[in-house]
Chains A and B, each alone.
Chain A
Amino acid sequence: MSSKFLTHRTGVAGAAVLAVAAVVAVVAPLLIDPGSLDVTRVTAAAWQAPDARHWLGTDHTGRSVALLLAQGAGTSLFVGLTAAVLAVGIGTAVGVVSGHFGGLPAGVLLRVTDFFLVLPALVLAIALSTVLPRGLGTIILAIGLTSWPSTARMVRAQTLTIEARPFVERARALGGGHAHVIARHVLPSVVPLVLVNATLAVASAIVAESTLAFLGLGDPARISWGAMLHQAQLHGAVPQGAWWFLLPPGLAIVAVVLAFTLVGRALEAVVTPKR
């Protein structure tokens, strides 16, 4: 499977971008002196254009945009990954249960899925993060709770196909119960699909996080790419002509989201059997 993935050049490029982003996210908090990000202790002037000392200039308080960008990578990736795992987890559980058991439980679960599917996800996420206490957890929860229905639908469809195969009937005839059929036959064949879906879900979760942070609903104590855009907008980066405060976080989001999507598509091509 890994050798097949390597034949998808766009996928490999995406993976490379992700590797760089991950290294930055992990290493940045260790290397960056907390003082340089503290508004009260920075020495540089505000709204400085990029120069040799500040590669990407400074923001409205004189902090280096390059350092903010590196520091924000961790938050964006962390929120994106955990929210995607949460969404895919809920979606897989709902999909497998409704596909396997059918009948009344499936009916109830599917109506709930439909409810979340028609709800505008962003509006629901905004509502949730207004009601719940502000913080990273709330953002993750808000994104996770609104983006699982598509996974649930897809997993259910795959579960139904697998359940109709004769080898599941054979497993039942051998005496296998629900747990056996799900664990040995349904889950293993659903997992590749779920993995692909998870990669794509990370991309949309990162966008969702940036959106919420941009709207000012993020964790105010943390630096993330979306929060940077929020600050830039709030403190008038546009009238200042400070493109260096707007473009880098925006481009970083585009790059990482594109990378996740490319990897997801490549994985999809690898795990889907050719017919």
Chain B
Amino acid sequence: MLELRNLTVHYGQKRVVDDVDLALAPGRTLGLAGESGSGKSTVAMSVLRLLPRTARVDGQVLLDGEDVRTMSWGRLRAVRWASASVVFQGAMHALNPVRRVGEQIAEPMRLHGTPGSVAELLEQVELPRHKARAYPHELSGGQKQRVMIAMALACGPRLVIADEPTTALDVVVQAQVLALMTRLVAERDLALLMISHDLSVLAQTCEDLAVMQHGRLVERGRTREVVANPRHPHTAALTAAFPVIGDRRHRWAEPRPAPEPLLRVRDLVVDYGRTRAVDGVDLTVGHGEVVALVGQSGSGKTTLARTIMGLRRPSSGRVIFDGAEVPRGGRALKAFRRQVQLVLQDPSSALNPRHTVFEAVAEGLRVHGLREDEEALVTAAVERAELRPASLYLRSLPHELSGGQQQRVVIAGALVLRPRLLVADEPVASLDASVRGEVVALLLRLRRELGLASLLITHDLGLAWQIADRVAVMHQGNIVEQGPAEEVLLTPAHDYTRALLAAVPVLGPPATG
């Protein structure tokens, strides 16, 4: 069906894909794993010749025995979507915001003159027919991804390429989308090439697995065997990076006695206009304690965090920090913000692209008028965040650093004010597997060495298992369950917690029973 022979891709002088051989038979599923920059997306896009003009492609890309590289423009257009289609990464950006999704699904059918009905396609992806009239912004992330899948199936292709189809979706929706794709592949006898940085996602959906690193294929084989006995160290690192809930080796937080409360939230209510985002929440974070606040997107966990930081005003209820209510404004609020710091999800956007590392880290000091020893304090904070030696990084601009390094800069910027509580919103969600572990370890080390308490906002239950002392589960603005991490994650009491846990993808063969 699809065969890549000695595929090599250059961007200018840079070789991004190096001599890759892959084959995919009809009706088979192949997972392509790798970190950002490993060249996995480039491989996928080369199949339909969707690479930018600056790319130089060598080798052969055979689709049904025909080389895509030498196809005429007309032939290529006919092949695109009719023989092979793509589910693009980031459904929110891949749909046209000003057109109804039904029209967008129908577009490839019209172009190729394929008979078929949008309603039927929507049914196949388990969306009600009337959603065809919806605009993308009226749909949730999972629904948009289903629309993308319906679009990919529109012309009845025999090969579907899915590029990170579930990134940015939370666990529950991710599980639903994966189940849908597995079902469609089986029913329609499709060949599927799925690309992801998340081995556990691929392990659930694909029969075969290929792992890429630095543009090379380092390992391939049956998924089950590759995951169970990785032969290449990079594969081993990838499999080890994803924590298994319940596995003691992956639990890095050491047990400790219940500390005195540092932050107490009492009966907090936050409204957005008429929508109630947070509905009467009680939450406590002790001195030096790591509390994970888990829940799906839209559960109100981010709003709760913003309110704790004093970035939003609560409609009612109280936030008490160190025995005193959090001030609502003025000098007192500014002083409070020295004590509580925020670490955002996406470090590349949390840093001003025009500021050097030094300026970004010193920003907090300057805001609070702490001019003395600026250089020494910044250096110390940067080294605390494990960017050593600091002098190597201080003059760099954010775009010169990797994602992990950027996140360390954000953490250093928080540390420089010597806070007592860190509010981290998905601190590792946008990081590669190998970097993720290091940043998680850093957060734990800060707790141990500085007694820094953290409120960790995440939909990643594995992360909660790794480092949280206590876990609070949030659902539709309420905290439905909270308690010690072992208790909540191993013997969940609430149905919703059980549903969340059941949706977490696991490495290895799909668990039975």
> Known contacts A167-B352, A184-B363: does B346 contact A174 (CB below 8 Å)?
no
Residues B349 and A171 in contact, CB atoms below 8 Å apart? no
Residues B351 and A173 in contact, CB atoms below 8 Å apart? no
> Known contacts A171-B363, A184-B363: does B354 contact A189 (CB below 8 Å)?
yes
> Known contacts A185-B352, A188-B354, A189-B354: does B363 contact A166 (CB below 8 Å)?
no
Select one of B341, B349, B352, B354 contacting A173, CB under 8 A: B341
B353 CB to nearest chain A CB (Å): 8
Q: Does A53 contact B (CB under 8 A)?
A: no
> Known contacts A175-B368, A180-B367, A184-B363: does B410 contact A170 (CB below 8 Å)?
yes
Residues B363 and A176 in contact, CB atoms below 8 Å apart? yes
Q: Does B459 contact A (CB under 8 A)?
A: no
Residues A173 and B367 in contact, CB atoms below 8 Å apart? no
Residues of B within 8 A of A177 (CB): 334, 367
Select one of B337, B346, B351 contacting A175, CB under 8 A: B337
- We find that the number of chain B residues with CB closer than 8 angstroms to chain A is 26
Q: Does B288 contact A (CB under 8 A)?
A: no
Q: Does A111 contact B (CB under 8 A)?
A: no
Identify the closest chain A residue to B336 (Cβ). Answer: A175
Q: Tell me the complex Cα distance, A172–B309, Å.
A: 10
Residues A170 and B354 in contact, CB atoms below 8 Å apart? no
Select one of B345, B349, B363, B410 contacting A165, CB under 8 A: B349
Residues B413 and A170 in contact, CB atoms below 8 Å apart? yes
Residues of A within 8 A of B345 (CB): 166
Residues of B within 8 A of A114 (CB): none
Identify the closest chain A residue to B352 (Cβ). Answer: A167
Q: Tell me the complex Cα distance, A5–B337, Å.
A: 43
Q: Does B82 contact A (CB under 8 A)?
A: no
A188 CB to nearest chain B CB (Å): 6
Interface centre among A175, A176, A180 (most CB of B within 10 A): A175
Mask, B350-386, CB within 8 Å of A = 1, is 1110100000000110111000000000000000000
Residues of A125-165 contacting chain B, CB below 8 A: 165
Residues of A within 8 A of B366 (CB): 180
Q: Does B43 contact A (CB under 8 A)?
A: no
Residues A173 and B334 in contact, CB atoms below 8 Å apart? no
Residues A166 and B349 in contact, CB atoms below 8 Å apart? yes
Identify the closest chain B residue to A273 (Cβ). Answer: B353
Select one of A170, A176, A185 contacting B350, CB under 8 A: A170
Q: Tell me the complex Cα distance, A63–B364, Å.
A: 65
Identify the closest chain A residue to B340 (Cβ). Answer: A173
Mask, B301-315, CB within 8 Å of A = 1, is 000000001010000
Q: Give the A-B contact count at a CB cut-off of 8 A.
A: 56
Mask, B403-434, CB within 8 Å of A = 1, is 00000001001000100000000000000000
Residues of B within 8 A of A167 (CB): 349-352
- We find that the number of chain A residues with CB closer than 8 angstroms to chain B is 17
> Known contacts A166-B349, A167-B352: does B363 contact A173 (CB below 8 Å)?
no
Interface centre among A166, A184, A185 (most CB of B within 10 A): A166
Residues A175 and B311 in contact, CB atoms below 8 Å apart? no
Identify the closest chain A residue to B364 (Cβ). Answer: A174
Residues A174 and B350 in contact, CB atoms below 8 Å apart? no
Residues of B within 8 A of A185 (CB): 352
> Known contacts A165-B349, A167-B350: does B311 contact A173 (CB below 8 Å)?
yes
Residues of A within 8 A of B337 (CB): 173-175
Residues of A within 8 A of B309 (CB): 173
A21 CB to nearest chain B CB (Å): 33
Residues of B within 8 A of A172 (CB): 311
Residues of A within 8 A of B351 (CB): 167, 170
A83 CB to nearest chain B CB (Å): 30
Residues A174 and B349 in contact, CB atoms below 8 Å apart? no
A80 CB to nearest chain B CB (Å): 30
Select one of A165, A169, A184, A189 contacting B342, CB under 8 A: A169
Mask, B246-264, CB within 8 Å of A = 1, is 0000000000000000000
Q: Does B338 contact A (CB under 8 A)?
A: yes
Q: Tell me the complex Cα distance, A129–B364, Å.
A: 50
Identify the closest chain A residue to B398 (Cβ). Answer: A167
Q: Does B344 contact A (CB under 8 A)?
A: yes
A249 CB to nearest chain B CB (Å): 43
Residues B367 and A169 in contact, CB atoms below 8 Å apart? no
B389 CB to nearest chain A CB (Å): 25
Identify the closest chain B residue to A170 (Cβ). Answer: B350
A185 CB to nearest chain B CB (Å): 6
Select one of A166, A169, A175 contacting B364, CB under 8 A: A175
Mask, A245-256, CB within 8 Å of B = 1, is 000000000000
B181 CB to nearest chain A CB (Å): 31
Residues B352 and A176 in contact, CB atoms below 8 Å apart? no
Residues A169 and B413 in contact, CB atoms below 8 Å apart? no
Q: Tell me the complex Cα distance, A189–B352, Å.
A: 10
Q: Tell me the complex Cα distance, A180–B346, Å.
A: 22
Residues B350 and A166 in contact, CB atoms below 8 Å apart? yes
A212 CB to nearest chain B CB (Å): 40
Q: Tell me the complex Cα distance, A176–B365, Å.
A: 10
Residues A174 and B341 in contact, CB atoms below 8 Å apart? yes
Mask, A26-65, CB within 8 Å of B = 1, is 0000000000000000000000000000000000000000
Residues of B within 8 A of A169 (CB): 311, 342, 344, 350
Residues B344 and A171 in contact, CB atoms below 8 Å apart? no
A195 CB to nearest chain B CB (Å): 15
Q: Tell me the complex Cα distance, A165–B352, Å.
A: 9
Residues B346 and A166 in contact, CB atoms below 8 Å apart? yes
Identify the closest chain A residue to B359 (Cβ). Answer: A184
Residues of B311-352 contacting chain A, CB below 8 A: 311, 333-335, 337-338, 340-342, 344-346, 349-352
Q: Offer 27 A-B interface pairs, CB within 8 angstroms, sorted by A.
A: A166-B344, A166-B345, A166-B346, A167-B351, A167-B352, A169-B311, A170-B342, A170-B350, A170-B410, A170-B413, A171-B367, A173-B340, A173-B341, A174-B337, A174-B363, A174-B413, A174-B417, A175-B335, A175-B368, A176-B363, A176-B367, A177-B334, A180-B366, A184-B352, A184-B363, A188-B354, A189-B354
Known A174-B341, A174-B363, A175-B367; 7 more pairs at CB < 8 Å? A167-B349, A167-B350, A169-B342, A171-B367, A173-B337, A175-B333, A175-B334
5 shortest interchain CB distances as A-B pairs: A175-B337, A173-B342, A174-B364, A175-B334, A166-B350
Q: What is the interface of chain A, defined by CB distance below 8 A to chain B?
A: 165-167, 169-177, 180, 184-185, 188-189
Q: What is the interface of chain B, defined by CB distance below 8 A to chain A?
A: 309, 311, 333-335, 337-338, 340-342, 344-346, 349-352, 354, 363-364, 366-368, 410, 413, 417
